[in-house]
Every structure is written in structure tokens, then in C-alpha cells.
Structure 1
């Protein structure tokens, strides 16, 4: 029975011990609360001062590359293909023979035309001599004036026959020359659509298509501009057009798929004479050099067109920008090291940084990294804005 009493007594004593611990903690909490809540530590963040540069106003568009010269090669005469004399997909030069047609019938036609020309020239020589004799005889009144008129007509007819024979001979020479189908422009040739042994037609709109050729240097970039941009370049008063009415060579930057920024330089070459009523856009064209030979017709491109003069502009990194239901914002570090949420209006990219049209001023600091929210006290570690012209290392 003694052990039962001991067990019951221990069970009764246990809540008192536990309760003492709880009460001790509460007493400690009350004691600590009496001293007031502790000030939270400043959160560490990475911040950078905004960059100010001279940046011209610009607009971005989507464009397509097109060859300056594009040719569908068709024969001028018909016949059988004897040989194909080019490497498909390779570069060709203007005047290079690409297809050879069977020239035997054209050689025979040319020889017959040359013989007809010689015959006409001999007949003309004979009539010239008869006319000269007739001039003397009519002066001596040995022949009538009517006979002399006949001699004059025969001479004129012989001369006309010679001119006709010359034209026929020249036509035969051209046909013979055209049995060698040559590249009319320099560029990259496509595949051969007709191989040796096939019969092709020529000399008409329905002539057989043999291959295609596109020029490779330079290229055109076609893109559609909005009404505001069109009006910026439409008038001569603004200096956007020359005295001849053509648009001036405004600098244009171009980027292909996968390229960062706008690494390629081009120049505005053409602006259409009207705005499409349905889309509210006008077709524009820029000339893009192709020194490395990588460009080809049909590629998509991003185009940046300068629409104004350079002025001081605020730029920041994209990673400093947040987005919520109301739009885009940045966290600005105030002088008292607390954070302010600031709404911003962004523009295009320039040198790896984003243009800020509204919302920030020169000298302000924005948060790049860190767990932060508006109103929070922070301990910023200042770094240079990546992509800035005067990059510096991290500084406290």
C-alpha cells in the first residue's frame, strides 16, 4: 500500500512542476514585455544608384529581312537542257553560265541568217551599180524617167532587204547566245528545278522556272511603323526628309533571334507614301549590311528606330522591377534607409539597361536583391548598376 501512496503523491506533484515552468516562462515574458519590444534588425539588401545617360527617344518594331535583288531564272529560248553548271546553294556571279541548252538548232538558224544577210548585201551591191548607170543614162536621155524610177525603187528595196537580214541575223545570234542561261545578278543560287535532259520552254511569261537567285549584300529590313512614327518622318520641315522628298538615312539598330540588345547597324532607306487605313501603319525599310554572310531572306528581326534627339535618361536593371496588379514598381532606398514603393513607366532597353520614362530621378537608389517590402528598414550593400558605363565594385 505504501508504494501506491507514493505513486499517487508523485502524480499529484507533477502538474505543479510543469505549471511552475510555464509560469516561469510567463513571468520572463512579462518581465521582457515590461522593457518594451526590441527594434527589428535592418534587413540586408543589394542596391544600386540609377544610371543617367544621354539616350535618344526610340521605338521598337518587328521586321522581316528581304533580299535587295531576287530573281526567278527562266530561259529566254526553249530547248533541251544539256548541262547544269552550278553548285546548288552556292554563290554565283553576274554573267556566270548556270544552264546550257542544246544549241545545235540555234547554230543552224544563225548560219542560215548570216547567209541570207550576205545574199541581201550582194543584191544591194548589184542594184547600187544599176542605179549609178541609170543616173548617167537618164542625164543623157538614153532611158526614160520611168525606167530610172524603177532602178531607184529597186535600190531602196535592196537596202531594206539588207536591214531586214541584219535584224534576222542579230536575232539568231541572240537566240544562240541565250542557249547559255546566265545569272543576271550576283548572289546565292537555289536548287536546280530542272535537270539535264529535260525540255524547257522559254521566251514568255510561262517559261520554265529553272532556279532562283537572291543577292546577299546588303539586305533590306521591312517593318511597319505606327502613325506617330510616320508623322515624325513624313514632313520635310522636321528635317526627316531631304529636298527630293526621300526620307533621310536615320540610324536604325537591328537584332536577330537570339541576339542580345541591338548589335547590328542599319539606316532608314524608305518610308511608304501612305498609311494603311485598316492597320494604321505604314511600311518602312532599312538597309542592313551583311559582312559576315549570315543573313538570309525571310528572317525575323527586331528593329529600333530613333525618333528624337538625345536627352538625359534614367536607366535601371530589369531585376530591380517588380510587378503587381497595379503595374510595375521599384523599391527606392530613402535617406533614412527605409524602403518606398515607387510606380514606374518603362521604355526600351539601352546597353543592357531599361529606360525609365517616369517615376525615378537622378541619384536615387533602388533595390536589386534581397527580402524586402515597403517601409522596411534595410542595410543596403551598394553595387554598380550592371551595364553602366562607369562600373564599380561593391561598396558598403
Structure 2
């Protein structure tokens, strides 16, 4: 009993001590100062909006090389992957049998010409004699028929020679276009088949310079391009993309910018109802052979003319459930929220369509520490400039004398083509 009272007394004294400690003076926490931020005045610069599409490269001309006569392959006269010119020797088929047929046809022509000469001589003699009654009319008619028959045989023989000459010439296979040749699909000694059944594909050739780049444009962008042309020319055009001379810029798969600009020269005559897009083609110079058929590229097209726009860095833009906003420091040093409407990206900057004026102090760093309506400790900086406008991508700056890609054969052959390799035995 005494032990229990002692424990209760100790517990009571301990509780009283804790209560007395709690009634003591509290420790005051240090007051936090305004968060450090970086501010810079919003800038106004001239910019251009661009649309980007995924395109693929195709050759303007592509030829599958087949043999027109059957025979054993005797010679391969090119290096795999080389540049060839029109008329360069590619393959040679064993021509001995075709040469023999041609020589036989030539001999038959000589025979028929001799028969024709004899028939005409006989006809001329009988024509004089029939008037004197020395030759019957029947014999004269037979002489006329024989002469006509001999003449017909000579004509038929000449046609046969022409056919045999064609087959003989087909034994020599030359390049039909300028371009880059593929590897040979058939090696020397193999039988090459011709005809419509199962002809032997020997190789393929594709033109090199220029090339086509195809991409799909949505119908809203298409209408925008046409309307822009109407505004620039003050004339209602017929909607042809060729006449609009729209320049394009290519970015390759590794992100590099292709150095040569292209021009849109074709648009399909109907929009794909399933995708809402129109297939568009641009012709692009390819003097170095960098672009190969089948390659993919990003196609960049100017969406309109240059215009003045307010710009801020992309990291200065915040977002909530309803809209986008930026923090602006007012004259009192407080952070104010301003909802904004955004436009396109210009390098590391973002176009602000509405909600912000040039010169307003925008918080560009430290936005996570900012509280709306609270003061901030500002460190002043300047905005970077957007990328310069490439005038080569503006329609008004296109060189009118730029050659059309419709007729690549009009340009001098020695501008972009390598010398064809000397014929060699494979």
C-alpha cells in the first residue's frame, strides 16, 4: 500500500514539471526573406512561324534494267554503286547466235535482190516482145507477177534484217538515264531470260540530282498557304501549289540541316478523306548525292510572313488546370500572375500572343519559390534573341531564276555528275 502511494506521488511530480516547462517562453523561428529570382524584360522581335512535316525522298527517275533478248551474260561493264551516264555500257549478252541470224538475213537479202534483178530484166524484155506478138500475154503476165514477187521478197528480207539487227543490238545493254546504279543482280555466265513471262532483272538505276521529297499536309495548313498567296498577290489563284513557289528546308535523321533549299512543285488533286491530308511534293537539289531514295527527312515550311511578337523563355511559362501564365514583377517588387496565350516556339523562346507586353519584367528563373502577390528579390538580366529569320524560306525572297526541277536534263551534265567508270570485266 505504501509502495503504491509512492509511485503515484512520483508520477504527479513529473507531470507537474512538464506543465511548468510548457509554460515557459517559446523559441521564435527566423523570418524567411523574399525568394531570389531572375527577372528580364519581355522583348518584341520579328519572327516567322513554321510548320514541320515528315517526308521521304524519292528519285525523279527510276529504271529497272531488264534484258530484251535471252542469252548468257558475257560481260558486266560497271562498278556496283557507281554513277553512270546515258548510253554507258552496262551488260553484254553473248551475241554469236544473233550475229549468225543477222548475217543469214543479209545473205538472203542478196539472194532476193538477185532474183528481183532477173525478174525485172525478164519483164522488160517480155514487155517489148509482147507488143510484137513474140511473147504471149500469159507469159507476160507471169513475168509481171514474178517481178512483183521478187520485189516483195526483197522488202520482206529488209524487214527481217531490221528485226535481226534489233535483236543483235539488244545484246548490248546501255544505261537509259543518268544516275546511280545498284549492284548487278546477275553474274557472268548465267542465263538471262527476256519476255513477259519471267524476265531477269539485271540491276536498277535511280537519278541523283535533283530528287523529290513527298510529305502530307493537313487541309487547314493547305488553306492557310493558299490564302497567304492570295494576300501576297492580291489575286485569287487557282489553288495550284506549283505557282505559289513555297520553299522548304530539310532536316536529316541525325538532326543536321540540309544545306540546299527545295521548292514545292506539286500537290495532289484531292485530299485524302480518311486522313484529311494532301500529298505534296518538293523538288530539292542534290549535287553531292547526300539524299538517297527512301530516306526520311523533316520538312520545314514557313507558315506565313514575318510579324512582330512578344517573346519570353520557355522556362518562364507556368501552367495550371485552366491556362498558362507567367510571373511578372510589379513596381513594388511583388510577383504578379499574368495568364497568357502562347504561340509558336522560336528556338529557346516562346511567342506570347496575348496577356503580356514588351518591357514587362518577367521572372525567368526561380519561379518554383515564387508566391503570387508576395515580394521577390530580383536579379536583373536580359532576354536572349530568337534565331534569325532565314529569308531563303520566305516566298517573297525566292530567286525567280532558280531552275525548275521538272526538266533535270536541261542543266549541264557536268555540273553534278561524276565521270562514268571505264568499262571493266566483272
Query: Fold match, TM over 0.5?
Result: yes
1:186 aligns with 2:178: yes
CA distance in 2, matches of 1:281, 1:209: 36
Match for 1:43 among 36, 47, 53?
36
Q: Aligned residue pairs: how many?
A: 365
Shift of 1:165: 2.0
Greater strand proportion: 1
CA distance in 2, matches of 1:140, 1:243: 82
1:215 aligns with 2:210: no
Q: Is the 8 A contact 1:339 1:378 kept in 2?
A: no
Which secondary structure does the structure 2 equivalent of 1:86 belong to? Answer: coil
In structure 2, the partner of 1:381 is 380
Match for 1:299 among 295, 298, 311?
295
1:162 aligns with 2:154: yes
CA distance in 2, matches of 1:261, 1:313: 25
Which secondary structure does the structure 1 equivalent of 2:91 belong to? Answer: strand
Q: Is the 8 A contact 2:218 2:276 kept in 1?
A: yes
CA distance in 2, matches of 1:352, 1:131: 98
1:251 aligns with 2:247: yes
In structure 1, the partner of 2:10 is none
1:37-76 deviation per Cα after TM superposition (whole angstroms, max 9, x unaligned): 78x3462315353342152x54322111111111221111
Shift of 1:296: 0.9
TM-score by length of 2: 0.72
1:74-115 deviation per Cα after TM superposition (whole angstroms, max 9, x unaligned): 111111112222222222222222222212112112211222
CA distance in 1, matches of 2:120, 2:384: 95
Q: Is the 8 A contact 1:345 1:359 kept in 2?
A: no
RMSD: 3.9
Match for 1:92 among 84, 94, 97?
84
Query: Unmatched 5+ residue regions in structure 1?
Result: 1-14, 391-396
1:105 aligns with 2:97: yes
1:304-361 deviation per Cα after TM superposition (whole angstroms, max 9, x unaligned): 23344443344454444445554654444555553434333332x5566554455544
CA 1:334–1:86: 2 relative to 1, 3 Å: farther
Shift of 1:222: 0.7
Q: Trace 1:53-92 onto structure 2 (pairs within 5 A).
A: 53-55=46-48, 58-92=50-84
CA distance in 2, matches of 1:264, 1:192: 32
Which secondary structure does the structure 1 equivalent of 2:201 belong to? Answer: coil
Shift of 1:118: 2.5
In structure 2, the partner of 1:52 is 45
CA distance in 2, matches of 1:308, 1:277: 26
CA 1:256–1:197: 2 relative to 1, 3 Å: same
In structure 1, the partner of 2:266 is 270
CA distance in 1, matches of 2:263, 2:221: 16
CA distance in 1, matches of 2:157, 2:35: 103
CA distance in 2, matches of 1:276, 1:74: 35
Q: Is the 8 A contact 1:193 1:209 kept in 2?
A: yes
Which secondary structure does the structure 2 equivalent of 1:185 belong to? Answer: coil
Shift of 1:232: 4.8
In structure 2, the partner of 1:226 is 218
Query: Unmatched 5+ residue regions in structure 2?
Result: 1-16, 390-426
In structure 2, the partner of 1:312 is 308
Which secondary structure does the structure 2 equivalent of 1:157 belong to? Answer: helix
CA distance in 2, matches of 1:322, 1:60: 25
